Copies of this chain bind each other. A is one copy, B any other.
């Protein structure tokens, strides 16, 4: 392997590792996405990954940031004015359904990705993630002007939580997949697309309802504590 000494060459190596990670993730899922797999896919040696990222978590966080940015780009493109709650829900749901990797990484964000990383690095990434999250809130406010800004932000955070909770449930491992084929457990086998679509519709309906019942500026019961 020829050595990367210039900043550009180093950036290429970083991109190469991220690309390999994305490939392994698509091919073998998170379980198969070990540093060994990433390294061999990228054609480099495992220990050298640590010259470009400080941990496995950082790699995945960078990937998450890229994906979220892309999805928010798409959202900002599409949303240009007020829409119905139903349309808005569909739009948001489609955004997630179109990015399975984003959903996977969101589901891993709090439980695993935000560990094993220096505070400085985490701060930088978290800041960038917040920027994107705020872009999404802005898009939501554009689509549903009835929602106050603070409520829209809460909605986006809740949405992330929903994705984090629903994705693993909708993408079971082979053991559970076997079971879900049995009629007894069929109701549990709903697709992620159906689940997230229903959930977002309910969420937005609930938020507009609560917002109506709350004439003050307080978006949600606890936000004013």
* Neighbour of A168 across the interface among B126, B163, B164, B194, CB < 8 A: B164
Interface size, A (range): 35 or more
A111 to chain B, nearest CB (A): 4
Binds B, one of A11-19, A44-52, A197-205: A197-205
The A interface, classified by DSSP as helix, strand, loop or mixed, is helix
Give Cα distance in the complex from A160 to B170, angstroms.
Answer: 13
Digitize A102-131: 1 where CB-to-B-CB distance is under 8 Å, 0 elsewhere: 000001111100111111001100110010
Give Cα distance in the complex from A157 to B164, angstroms.
Answer: 14
Chain B residues, CB < 8 A from A222 = 190, 194-195, 197-198
* Contact of A119 with B178 in the complex, beta carbons under 8 Å: yes
> Does A146 reach chain B (CB closer than 8 Å)?
no
> Does A165 reach chain B (CB closer than 8 Å)?
yes
* Contact of B210 with A179 in the complex, beta carbons under 8 Å: no
Give Cα distance in the complex from A206 to B225, angstroms.
Answer: 23
* Contact of B160 with A165 in the complex, beta carbons under 8 Å: yes
* Neighbour of A110 across the interface among B119, B172, B223, CB < 8 A: B172
Tell whether A126 pairs with B202 under 8 Å between CB atoms, given A161-B169, A166-B161.
no
Known: A114-B173, A114-B176, A163-B165. 4 other contacts (CB 8 A): A107-B111, A161-B199, A164-B164, A197-B222
Q: Which residues of A approach B to under 8 Å, CB–CB?
A: 107-111, 114-119, 122-123, 126-127, 130, 153-154, 157-158, 160-166, 168-169, 172-173, 175-176, 178-179, 182, 184-185, 187-188, 190, 194-195, 197-199, 201-207, 209-210, 220-223, 225
